[in-house]
Structure 1
Amino acid sequence: MLRIHFTADDFARVRFAPRPAPLQELHAALATAVAPHRDPLFGRWRGRVLRALPAAADPLADLVPAGRAPYFLDVLGDTLADAFDLVRATGPEFVREELVRVYGTGPGSLPAPHWIRGLYAGEEASWQTVRRAQRAAYETVLAPVWPVIQDLHREEFARHALITAEHGLAAALTALAPGSRLDGGVWEWPAAVPPREVHLSGRGLVLLPTFHHPSGPLLQDLPARPVVLTYPAGPALPPVPDDQDDPLAAVLGRTRANLLRLLTGPLTTTELARALRVSNATASAHAGALRAAGLVATARTGRSVSHERTALASLVVDGRPAAVGSGGGTRSAGPEPVDTTPCGKR
């Protein structure tokens, strides 16, 4: 469990990041792409990202040996250029401390590549290697969807502001993580591995949503700085490019195109709604429209309504038909069975 301890001053210093942070979002995306055992719905996205990353981005893997990243990469610049400048402005002593932390010392230490040793020594050529690698990864992973991320961030900002205005800060905080609670000045998150105690001690807290990291939170806790909590803004697939970059979305609309891509196997209406960040009724309406077009097959099992692609939909999405017996379009394309699954039940 993650437990964040507030003082009275800290409650007055909670703020929501007004804009997404490019490098933080990039790090969340790359962590999701390389992490094992992720939700299978991320498989297609992960494969596409890993195949598309250019060789110029390879040095980023050197900065995260054994999954440990140096903290000097965690910055909140509003633009990529601002973020680069903040990283480069890191004090040389802190850079060296962090490189020692992630690579270790003694018999169990990891061998550091030549350019990492240059970074330790403060060589400008090594800093340029970092900048080129981050730029290459950003252009591949985030640039195509950055306008979408900006829109999603504005929506999350507005949602948080409304909850705070109507119900107070405690309600807004606990709404960020289902199952979390604020008790006696301690904000408890239900799951965090390993368990962690964080004392704000008057530094305040910055809340930053991420749209590429389905599990969390990610925490930046550095001396003499506000603590930054990067939290997953809903369990969903990473954003896809705007419709003009997606021929299927240009025809069907982005939500319906995403719905079809999600249906790599049977999913309930509730599962689709959660993944698409829409209500059950909206997900059901989109599934109904696709069913009427012969692209989705729907069936009921007990109280659960599930949806699958038809063979036609698999041809449209993947360029190949679905296996026989898997969403092959043999079910009725008539009215959908009424979904009585409670909104919060999987």
Structure 2
Amino acid sequence: MVYRIHFTVQDLARTRVAEAPMPLHELELAARALQSRSQPARLDAWRHHARAQLSAQARMVLTLMPAVGYSPGFLSPTKVGAVEDLLEQVRSTPRERVRASLLETAHHHPSLPEWTRHLADDASLFAELCTGLSHLHACLLGPHWDQFTEHLAADRTLRLQQLLTGGVEQLLTQANPQWMRWNPPVLEVRMVNGADRDLYLEGEGFLFIPSMFCTRAIVTDGRPVSVSYPAGQDQRPRELTTSASAPGQARAPGVSTLLGRTRTTVLTTIAEHQGCSTKELAARAGVAPASASEHASVLREAGLIHSLRHRNSVLHSLTPLGLALLNTPEGG
């Protein structure tokens, strides 16, 4: 069964990719992944570490974010921003909206715990839930957020490349071909829960949201309508396969390899031409393609750039650590 999302010319003109991570939306997807049994090789170490850290309040939130199915929209807004600001917005949710959202959730999940019936009217209970949301973010996403941000930025670079080379059609076709099919003017999204529905964008546009924890395509029926999809499906980060390390511990050892003129030139070239291919990097840095590829590999191992394969090319982008290095006197 599928969601059929109907585009107008105005919607195609307003189709875009999220410009930055959406912390609470990503948190909902992480909460679902925590409770799922899929991807054991990639996620089991992360799951084991996270479950050991969960507070009672965080487990309250998990009750409302099942592995599959409906969850209250006020808990996971599709908004960009600092997590502290977004959490404050959740705390300020009007009680009428909380009540309506919980009624809708109960319609899809009749077995919700009894305490959820009192959530809209019990201020202290609602405060506990919001505290749990904060705890859950710190547990599931906090230790890896910098690395996730880098990976999502690399995926956005890939989507920009698709827009430049093939326009919106290529973006709609290639963002998530396993779960989405572009049949102009309709985007068909395959649904695992059996839902079958037509959505009309009505000129309000469409938003793609790359995600670290999404394994398929998840439609959020808001304004604008959005679809979350797996970011960089061919290059998953290694952070999820091990427990979190101390800040800076995993990044520091490779930096000394960059103290050379040619690699500094390569790094600077990537900074000035984000998303450049290895061939373009070689031409702009004045080195042979094989040399550019070798230097990029060293920079990537040091955590200074992120590389993502697109068709027959590899696209390179600067990470925050790479930018920090270039901004120091030693880096220039």
TM-score range, shorter chain: 0.5 to 0.7
Which one has more relative contact order, counting CA pairs under 8 Å at least 6 apart?
A: 2
Amino acid at match of 2:55: P
Per the alignment, residue 154 of structure 1 pairs with 153
Show the counterpart of 1:21.
Answer: 22
Structure 1: runs of 5+ lacking an equivalent: 254-284, 286-342
C-alpha offsets along residues 63-114 of structure 1, whole Å, 9 cap, x if unaligned? 2468531122231141112322333444433321221222349xx9436343
* Structure 2 CA distance for partners of 1:19 and 1:220, relative to 1, 3 Å: same
Matched AA of 2:218: L
2:98 corresponding residue in structure 1: 95
Does 1:232 pair with 2:234?
no
Instruction: Give me the whole-angstrom Cα distance separating, in 2, the residues matched to 1:109 and 1:68.
Output: 11
8 Å contact kept, 1:220–1:229: yes
Q: Does residue 141 in structure 1 map to residue 140 in structure 2? A: yes
Contact 2:15 2:207 in 1 (8 A): yes
| Counterpart AA for 1:6 | F
Q: How does 1:197-208 map to 2 (within 5 A)?
A: 197=197, 198-208=199-209
Alignment of 1:289-300 (within 5 A): none
Q: CA deviation at 1:28?
A: 0.9
Q: Which residue of 2 aligns with 1:211?
A: 212
Deviation of 1:171 after TM superposition, in Å, equals 0.2
Kindly indicate whether residue 66 of structure 2 is the aligned counterpart of residue 60 of structure 1.
Answer: no
**Larger Rg belongs to:** 1
Q: How many residues align?
A: 251
Superposition TM-score, scaled by structure 1 size: 0.63
TM-score, normalisation: structure 2: 0.65
Find the residue that maps to 1:103 and give its secondary structure.
helix
Alpha-carbon separation, structure 2, partners of 1:111 and 1:187:
33
Q: Which residue of 2 aligns with 1:185?
A: 185
Shift of 1:191: 5.7
Partners of 2:249 and 2:84 in 1: how far apart? 31
Amino acid at match of 2:90: V
Task: Give the Cα–Cα distance (whole angstroms) in 1 for the partners of residues 202 and 244 of structure 2.
Answer: 42
User: In structure 2, the residue corresponding to 1:164 is in which secondary structure?
Assistant: helix
Structure 1 residues 89 and 5, CA, compared in 2 at 3 Å: closer, same or farther? farther
Of stretches 91-100 and 191-200 in structure 1, the one that deviates more from structure 2 is 191-200
Contact 1:42/1:237 (<8 A) preserved: no
Which residue does 1:85 correspond to in 2? Answer: 88
Specify whether residues 209 and 37 from structure 1 end up closer, same or farther in structure 2 by C-alpha distance, changes over 3 A only: closer
Give the letter aligned to residue 174 of structure 1. T
Alignment partners' CA distance in 1, 2:112 and 2:164 = 52
Measured in 2, the distance between the counterparts of 1:212 and 1:37 equals 11
Residue in structure 2 matched with residue 129 of structure 1 by the alignment:
128
Identity %: 24
Partner Cα separation in structure 2 for residue 69 and residue 95 of structure 1: 12
Change (3 A) 1:246 1:77: closer
DSSP-derived class of the 1:202 partner: coil
CA distance in 1, matches of 2:119, 2:130: 12
Task: Show the counterpart of 2:220.
Answer: 220
Letter in 2 for 1:102: T
Structure 2, gaps ≥5 residues long: 256-293, 295-311, 313-332
Q: Tell me the secondary structure at the aligned position of residue 119 of structure 2.
A: helix
Secondary structure of 1:168 counterpart = helix
Give the 3 Å change call, closer, same or farther, for CA 86–142 of structure 1 in structure 2.
Answer: same
Q: Which ranges of 4 or more aligned residues in structure 1 deviate by more than 4 Å?
A: 240-253
CA contact (8 A) 1:62 1:113 kept: no
What are the superposed Cα offsets for residues 300-333 of structure 1, whole Å, 9 maximum, x if unpaired? xxxxxxxxxxxxxxxxxxxxxxxxxxxxxxxxxx
2 CA distance for matches of 1:171 and 1:178? Answer: 11
In 1, the alpha carbon distance for the partners of 2:53 and 2:254 equals 26
